[in-house]
Structure 1
Amino acid sequence: MRTTKLGGLGDVSRLSLGGGIGQIWGETPREEALATLHAAVDAGITLIDCAPMYNNAEKFIGAAFEGRPPPGVKFTTKHQLGSPVPGTAAAALEASVDASLAAMRLGRIDLFFLHSNLHRDGFAYAFGDSAKAQFSTALSIYVEEVVPAMEALKAKGKIGHWGVTGIGVPDAVLDALDHPVRPSVVQVIANLMDSPGALKRYAEPARPRQIARAAKAAGLGVMGIRAAQAGALTAKVDRELSPNNPDRRDYERAAPFRALCARWGVDPAYATHRYALSLPDFDVVVLGVKNRSELSLCLKAEADGPYSDAEMAEIDALGLRPAGANGSPV
């Protein structure tokens, strides 16, 4: 397993095991989830990416390692703060950390993410704006409450580093990266469609590659998420989705990619993870796998190394990335 430096965390594996083992993407028996955790670590994965909203993932980590994780393995978790009553963000973040520490049976979280969307004050979302207090954090709250709270959690020794999930409104995410007190790591969409799928609530184009470039330019670590775009870039979506679901629409739009994979003789899940691992500016790719079979495909993608420039160009030539404001892929 290749390694990389991820912000202040130092050396970690290029692959991170994500929350799929928490029984959120299709059915996974508990025993298989635990076996997948152990298989990932045995294969050299040293970063486990978790969150309370990933159903049983934190509990399974606690059960798998019983409070004694292998040396060198690091753990992340997250909190979707939203926009709480003024003056309450610090308590909410600390309570979330405490609950995650208890569930995972750990003494410290290596990396703690603000998992809310970020938006500039006064911004109105195109979709679900009435609920934005639940899923999105205004920049004023981020600057005045979140940043100091994260630094306080570091000072208390409850977390080693903190980060943000960069799936919010692009300008707001870029503003956060430009703040004098920066996160150590940013999670950014990393797939061949540049698609956040059902996570996208704003109308403008997503700009994940611009966000990744800005993060690297600021000296931050970048974790790529949604490499398989919630199953849209696999051979078959593993759960029921309505025809209007953005992930279902992405799956249908990705038919040319599956046809290309058939010509190449590879599984789409393998190809999309190898593509994500080939992108510049991304240090780590988070896996949404739920079992050892899916894990093995991703391990092979990492072991086979980056795609060539010609192979990347052939995938990009499918035209699956959205056009930016200048008419070219973002």
Structure 2
Amino acid sequence: MERRDFGRLGQISALTLGGGGLGGVWGSTDRDEAVATVHAAVDAGITMLDVAPSYGDDFEAERVVGAALRARPAPDVLVTTKVQVHDVPPGGDFDGLIRRSLSGSLSRLGRSHVDLLLLHTQLLPLDGSATAAGTIHFSSYQDAVVPAFERLRAEGLIRGWGITAVGHPASTVEALTSSPRPDAAQVIVNALDLNGDMWIYPDVTPDGPALVAAAGSQGVPVLGIRVVAAGSLAGSLDRAVPADHPAAVDFARAAGFRKLAAEWGEPAAVLAHRYALSVPGVSSVVLGVKNRAELAECVAAEARGRLTPSEVSTIRALTEAR
């Protein structure tokens, strides 16, 4: 599998195994199959596992990865986890919250450190307008969260830190360009720039390519997330959702993408992964798979290679047409 530069942490595989599927977020699975999927990913050359305390009931994704790595240690595989810290509604001791969350994650993972700790909370507009539950003001991020992360890195409990870059665009760009800068950013990267239920700013248009460019201009490595738009860019949704659910709405909007995939002789999900892998500036694509069969499809997509610039442009034109 292709290896790509990942800044402070060296090189990582072009594919990263995400924890959403392992935790049952994207449809049902069981512990044995999830653990087997981790082992299959490592065997396929994947060198990063990306989990979070919120992925699954009772921290299931972290427990899966912990069980998998205890059964088959893989010291060269990097592990990423996340922390949610907010001040809407008002938060408290940010440093304490972050440390307690990380301590729990390390215990479940069976590790003395994680390679990357990501802020899993959306940044509010720089002026503090437009608040929503579970968000954080940029000033709190800059003045409290970043220093806490820097201390954890100095103590050796994390090797690097980053952000899930799906908050307000102006604040996210400010976070990517302010010093100290994150060691990585997770950015929504998919063929139609679909943000689904992660987008909370109806008066602002999401622009994933602009965020990838902003990160690249500052040397911040990008992990592409939501590459199949929560299943909306696949051939079918693999879970039942109401007709007005963002995934169902996006699935309908993606009809042209599925038509193009069929014309090119590719399964829609394969083309979606190949597109994300072809976006300049993306270090690795995070997979949302929940079993070995889905993993094998993604590994095969990576092996097919990058799309040509012309093919990427054809797909990008669908965004403007939708």
| Normalised-by-shorter TM-score class | over 0.9
User: 1:196 and 1:322, CA in 2 relative to 1: closer, same or farther beyond 3 A?
Assistant: farther
Farther-moved stretch of structure 1 (235-244 vs 219-228): 235-244
1:95-115, Cα deviation, whole Å (9 max, x unpaired): 111010011111101000001
Match of 2:40 in 1: 39
Q: Which residue matches 2:64?
A: 60
TM alignment of 1:268-279, pairs within 5 A: 268-279=268-279
Aligned partners of 1:264, 1:38: CA distance in 2, in Å?
A: 32
Q: Aligned pair in 2 of structure 1 residues 67, 34: CA closer, same or farther (>3 Å)?
A: closer
Greater CA deviation, 61-70 or 290-299?
61-70
After superposing the two structures, state which structure 1 stretch, 299-308 or 78-87, moved more.
78-87
Residue identity opposite 1:45 in structure 2: I
Unaligned runs of 5+ in 2: none
Corresponding position of 1:70: 74
Q: Is the 8 A contact 1:194 1:322 kept in 2?
A: no
Q: Which residue number corresponds to residue 21 of structure 1?
A: 22
- C-alpha separation between the residues in 2 aligned to 1:221 and 1:29? 32
Query: Equivalent residue of 2:12, what SS?
Result: strand
Structure 1 equivalent of residue 115 of structure 2: 110
Partner of 1:219: 219
Contact preservation (8 Å) 1:194, 1:321: no
Q: Deviations over 1:180-220 (max 9, x none)?
A: 21110011011011121110000201121111111111111
- CA 1:218 to 1:32, structure 2 compared with 1: closer, same or farther past 3 Å? same
Q: Secondary structure at the match of 1:320?
A: helix
> Does the CA contact (< 8 Å) of 2:126 and 2:171 recur in 1?
no
How much does 1:31 deviate? 1.3
**CA contact 2:85–2:91 (8 Å) conserved in 1:** no
- 8 Å CA contact 2:196, 2:247 repeated in 1: yes
Partner of 2:177 in structure 1?
178
Structure 1 residue 163 corresponds to structure 2 residue 162: yes
Counterpart Cα distance in 2 of 1:170 and 1:138: 13
Deviation at 1:224, TM superposition (A): 0.5
Which AA in structure 1 matches 2:67?
A: A
Q: 1:14 to 1:289 in 2, by over 3 A?
A: same
* SS of residue in 2 equivalent to 1:220: coil
AA aligned opposite 1:142: Y
Residues 36-85 of structure 1: per-residue CA shift (max 9 Å, x gap): 10000000000000001111110011111118631310000011212174
TM-score, L = length of structure 1 = 0.92
The alpha carbon displacement at 1:291 in A equals 0.8
State the Cα deviation string for residues 211-266 of structure 1 (Å, max 9, x = none): 11111111111100000000000011111222222221110010111112222222
The equivalent of 2:102 in structure 1 is 97
Q: Which moved more, 1:98-107 or 1:308-317?
A: 308-317
Alignment partners' CA distance in 2, 1:114 and 1:312: 30
Gaps of 5+ in 1: 324-330
How many residues end up aligned between the 2 structures? 316
1:267-302 alpha-carbon deviations (Å, 9 max, x no partner): 111110000000011111100011111111111111
Shift of 1:133: 4.0
**SS state at 1:70 partner:** coil
1:108–1:158 CA contact under 8 A, matched in 2: yes
Range that drifts further, 262-271 or 157-166: 262-271
Please give the alpha-carbon distance, in whole angstroms, between the structure 1 residues aligned to 2:182 and 2:196. 25
Q: Give 1:7 deviation, angstroms.
A: 2.0
CA distance in 2 between partners of 1:138 and 1:284 (Å)? 28
Q: Distance in 1 between matches of 2:48 and 2:190?
A: 20
What root-mean-square deviation, in Å, do the aligned CA atoms of Structure 1 and Structure 2 show? 1.6
1:120 aligned partner, one-letter code? P
| Residue pair 2:126, 2:170 contacting (<8 A) in 1 also | no
Please state whether the residue corresponding to 1:22 is helix, strand or coil.
Answer: coil
Matches within 5 A, 1:121-132: 121-125=126-130, 129=131, 132=132
Q: Match of 1:109, SS?
A: coil
Q: Distance in 1 between matches of 2:36 and 2:71?
A: 17
Partner Cα separation in structure 1 for residue 262 and residue 232 of structure 2: 16
Contact 1:254 1:320 in 2 (8 A): no
Residues 277, 285 of structure 2: 8 Å contact kept: yes
Equivalent AA in structure 1 for residue 124 of structure 2: H
> Helix, strand or coil: the match of 2:159?
strand
Q: Aligned ranges for residues 227-306 of structure 1 at < 5 Å? A: 227-306=227-306
SS of the residue corresponding to residue 23 of structure 1 reads coil
Are the counterparts in 2 of residues 18 and 289 from structure 1 also a CA contact under 8 Å? yes
Q: Report which stretch shifted further, 303-312 or 198-207.
A: 303-312
- Structure 1 residue 144 and structure 2 residue 149: aligned? no
Which amino acid in structure 1 is aligned with residue 225 of structure 2? I
